[in-house]
Amino acid sequence: MIDGVLDTSIVIDLLRQFQPAIQWSALVSKQNMVITPIVWMETVEGARNGAERSRILRFLRQFPIEHSIYDDNNWSMLQFAQFNLSYNVDLTDVMIASVAVRLNVPLYTLNIKHYAPLPNLDERRPY
């Protein structure tokens, strides 16, 4: 059972060992949190060199990856078409959100405003 999806902002804070993120992570350590391939790629994209990329890749191994399915992609396209111009919703955000919506679990993020217009999404700021 999956208990939540982590947004890139949370993963980066954990990677950087930001204390509020570490403390929250300890509180939910018994829960099954996943990331999406988009979160994985955005995190790896932040590497400035090969050594840092290796460290990031090792760090990311702790997170199960939940892949998008056909219905997630359709939901993402509908939301992107509806909210991109009016709310400046980013395509990666709708793709991350689609997995949380399908699983009916919270999306933990520091960027609530990025996700606010998306229907049926339980977005939560954990710290």
Of the candidates 80, 13, 5, which has an alpha carbon nearest to the alpha carbon of residue 43?
A: 13
pTM of the model: 0.95
For the chain, the domains span 4-124
**pLDDT tens digits for range 38-92:** 999 999 999 999 999 999 999 999 999 999 999 999 999 999 999 999 999 999 9
Token pair for residue 18?
């930001």
The helices-and-strands tally (H runs, E runs) of the chain is 7, 4
CATH architecture of 4-124: 3-Layer(aba) Sandwich (3.40)
With 0-12 / 13-18 / 19 or more C-beta atoms within 10 angstroms meaning exposed / middle / buried, residue 81 is: exposed
**pLDDT tens digits for range 1-22:** 999 999 999 999 999 999 999 9
Q: How far apart are CA 72 and CA 102, in angstroms?
A: 7
